[in-house]
Amino acid sequence: MNDRIAKKRELMTVAKRCFERGLQTGTGGNLSIRCTDRNLVVIKPSGVGFFECDEDNLLVVALDGTIVEGSAKPSKDMPFHLGIYRVREDVGGIVHVHSPWATAWASTNQEIPCMTVHARAKLARIPVIPCGPGRGNQDPEAIVAAYRDPKLRAMILEDHGSVGVGKTILAAQHVVELIEETAQVAAVARMVSGRVGAAAAAD
């Protein structure tokens, strides 16, 4: 099988997995996978939902931004995807989603605390990248600069969602699942802690 077709199908499988788990609805978010030719990437274009990704609407792009295959409009997230691949040879897949719990936490402009043993072991930390000017999208270079850390696997973008990277696109998807779980645990723990504290003060 042609490598580009194989990579497209791999991306499609992960995209549907994200959709089915409620990590991304509509046409937002983005995901990409590095081809065997390390200079090429398959990436979801603008205006295409995760569930609608297919072999005909996905783009094949060179790391310098040149469109090699496809006629759809590139996503505004493409620059940070390509930038991460340029600085992280170990990264084979990137998943960016607007999942509810992670996005809600990101809106506070605070790192998500890794409160579980699993999150600490797998992610260590989940930094937050602030919005751009006028509370717009993050500067792609700010995202890429953070991912220059070879140990970093996860981050959240203020008012925007989460980004996970991995050796494979499935590994990156597992990262955003864990970010979402960790955000939910942290938010609920904060609520429970507040209620327990309030109850104790009332006694």
**Where do the domains of the chain lie, and which CATH numbers do they carry?**
3-196 (3.40.225.10)
Q: What are residue 96's DSSP bridge partners?
A: 30, 163
Q: How many CB atoms lie within 10 A of CB 184?
A: 17
Instruction: With beta carbons less than 8 A apart as the criterion, state whether 60 and 70 touch.
Output: yes
User: From CA 173, how far away is CA 162, in angstroms rounded?
Assistant: 11
Q: Which residue has the tokens 């006694």?
A: 203
Binned at pLDDT 50, 70 and 90, residue 1 comes out as low
| Helices 169-202, 3-20: crossing angle, 10 deg rounding | 20
Looking at residue 108, what is its pLDDT? 94
Q: What is the pLDDT of residues 19-37, one digit of tens each?
A: 999 999 999 999 999 999 9
Strands 154-157 and 128-129: parallel
**Res. 199: pLDDT tops 80:** no
**Res. 200: pLDDT tops 60:** no
Sign of CA dihedral 65, 93, 17, 1: positive
Token pair of 66, please?
Answer: 């040149």
**Res. 145: pLDDT tops 60:** yes
Looking at residue 195, what is its pLDDT? 54
- Least confident interval from 2-6, 69-73, 106-110, 131-135: 131-135
Q: What is the mean pLDDT of the chain?
A: 93
- Specify the pTM: 0.93
Q: What are residue 129's DSSP bridge partners?
A: 157
Average pLDDT over residues 29-46: 96
